[in-house]
């Protein structure tokens, strides 16, 4: 699924879509705009973390209270959006994350292995089970996001976000999502991005960051945002 069909499909579920074009050269921005998205463009590739920050800043500037993040390569299915909204409404979670672990064997083996080890390390630090720490399909309460500091600009943003929300006392929930594995090539570089992640983890460990308090929670405001 290219960006235009994805935008059109998401707009069947949510009225507003913001696409961050992270320095692409394949006409992504024009295709997204033609499909009805509001486009934020980086002049060059800055990384997934930078794109997430740009998108959430744009959502905040437009006055939204919630933001839903999705990858633009077709790995996330718009049909699952309603599950995120329902989970936030029912639990008051400030961060809702998709989990693919109910069908983990559909994920390519190397990505599954990397996700497993990263999730185990993050679960240890968090003091609770985080079944799918690397999934980018997420619903965020923007007031919680905007008061936190994030240093990473690449795929580590997913892990940094998890620990930051927990350390701030916010409730995090996971919802099962459909697994799209075969036929979709992840943009995660298995070596480069893993090394970046472990450098981030090493800096975190050296800094002696306090582990989040298990069971701490923060009830999120219940006005839904669409991104």
Question: Residue 88 maps to which CATH number?
Answer: 3.90.550.10
Find the helix packing angle between 157-167 and 48-61, rounded to 10°.
50
How many residues belong to the chain?
A: 227
pLDDT at 224 over 90: no
Q: How far is CA 180 from CA 47, 72, 98, 176, in A?
A: 22, 13, 13, 13
Residue 186 confidence class, pLDDT cut points 50, 70, 90: low
What's the pLDDT tens digit per position in 83-100? 999 999 999 999 999 998
Q: What is the pTM of this model?
A: 0.86
Sheet of 66-69: strands edge to edge? 66-69, 138-141, 95-99, 172-176
pLDDT, residue 193, reads 79
Q: How many domains does the chain have?
A: 1
Q: What is the mean pLDDT of the chain?
A: 87
* Residue 6, in any domain of the structure: no
* Residue 17 located in a structural domain: no
What band does 42 get if pLDDT is binned at 50, 70 and 90? Answer: very high
Asked if residue 34 is part of any domain, the answer here is: no
What pLDDT score does 87 carry? 98
Interval 27-41: pLDDT, tens: 999 999 999 999 999
Once rounded to an integer, what is the mean pLDDT over residues 113-142?
94
Q: Binning pLDDT at 50, 70 and 90, where does residue 181 land?
A: low
Average pLDDT over every residue of 14-23 = 96
When pLDDT is averaged across residues 101-111 and rounded to a whole number, the result is 72
Region 144-153 average pLDDT: 96
Q: Which domain holds residue 184?
A: 46-207
Q: Which residue has the tokens 């989970």?
A: 87
Q: Is the dihedral of CA 51, 53, 55, 58 positive or negative?
A: negative
Residues paired with 42 in a beta bridge: 22
């Amino acid at each position: 699924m290219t960006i235009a069909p994805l935008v059109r499909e998401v707009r069947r579920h949510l009225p507003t879509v913001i696409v961050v074009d992270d320095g692409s050269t394949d006409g992504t921005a024009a295709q997204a705009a033609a499909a009805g998205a509001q486009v934020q463009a980086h002049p060059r590739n800055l990384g997934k973390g930078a794109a997430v920050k740009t998108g959430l800043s744009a959502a905040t500037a437009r006055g939204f209270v919630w933001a839903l993040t999705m990858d633009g390569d077709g790995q996330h299915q718009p049909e699952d959006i309603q599950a995120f909204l329902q989970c936030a409404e029912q639990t008051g979670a400030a961060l809702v994350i998709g989990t693919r672990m109910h069908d983990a064997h559909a994920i390519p083996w190397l990505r599954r292995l990397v996700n497993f080890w990263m999730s185990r390390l993050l679960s240890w630090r968090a003091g609770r089970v985080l079944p799918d720490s690397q999934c980018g399909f997420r619903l965020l309460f923007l007031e919680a996001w905007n008061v936190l500091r994030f240093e990473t600009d690449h795929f580590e943003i997913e892990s940094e976000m998890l620990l930051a929300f927990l350390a701030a006392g916010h409730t995090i929930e996971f919802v099962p999502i459909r697994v799209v594995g075969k036929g979709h090539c992840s943009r995660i570089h298995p070596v480069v991005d893993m090394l970046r992640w472990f450098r981030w983890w090493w800096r975190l460990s050296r800094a002696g960051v306090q582990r989040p308090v298990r069971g701490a929670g923060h009830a999120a405001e219940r006005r839904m945002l669409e991104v």
